[in-house]
Amino acid sequence: MNVLLINGSPRPNGCTATALGIVAQELQNGGIDTQIVNIGTKEVRGCISCFKCQELGHCVFSNDLVSELAHKFELADGLVVGSPVYYASANGSLISLLDRLFFSTPFSKAMKVGAAVASARRAGTTATLDELNKYFTLAEMPIASSRYWNEVHGNTPEQVMQDEEGVQIMRVLGRNMAFLIRAIAAERERNGLPPEVQPRINTNFIR
């Protein structure tokens, strides 16, 4: 069992990375392997809605971080996405990555456990969490929660560690996520495959 953690911050050792590190440690304590991938300052193109992925089985832009993460995501039992808060929303590079990662990958994400983490100086975290959680709900992924919103506060990693409530929230999140992953794995072992994925029905307001 393993969890992929994506650090959506341009700073690989900043506040968001600090929060994800706490979550990862608790996952490891719960018997779950972890891997943290940093977006850093890598260029990530947004989706251009070309639908080539439906023909190719992968995004047409096959030479960037999305392609690297696609295989890791397919093999993972869970995904944690962390973002700094910019204008009460997630980092644009992270959103570009997630749009393509979720849309272009043909494998089912159902029953992979998802969690979002937001890091801010002061405010905008709940809007960012709402934005990130929508990726999981669209993909039939159960969302791991903590005892408050999954957020930390501070301008530096040192200040984040002084946010005692935020640190505890990250620890509880890691423990809860590990439990969910183990529970889903145990159910799969007892009863076989997860619930059948239903064929998608797409409608709009005209037809």
Residue 142 covered by a domain = yes
Beta strands in 105-184 (DSSP E): 113-120, 151-153
Residue 50 covered by a domain = yes
* Domain of residue 13, CATH code: 3.40.50.360
Residue 201 covered by a domain = no
| Contact by Cβ (8 Å): 65, 73 | no
Domain that holds residue 83: 2-191
Average pLDDT of span 66-75: 95
Lookup: tokens for 147: 């005892």
Residue 156 covered by a domain = yes
pLDDT band at 26 (very low <50, low <70, confident <90, very high): very high
Residue 42 covered by a domain = yes
At 142 the pLDDT is 97
Q: What is the rounded average pLDDT for all residues in the chain?
A: 95
| Contact by Cβ (8 Å): 85, 119 | yes
> What are the residues facing 78 on neighbouring strands?
3, 113
pTM above 0.85, yes or no: yes
The count of structural domains within the chain is 1
pLDDT more than 90, % of the chain: 88
Residue 205 covered by a domain = no
The total of other beta-carbon atoms located within 10 Å of residue 143's CB is: 16
Residue 97 covered by a domain = yes
Residue 146 covered by a domain = yes
Strand order in the sheet with 151-153: 33-38, 2-7, 78-84, 113-120, 151-153
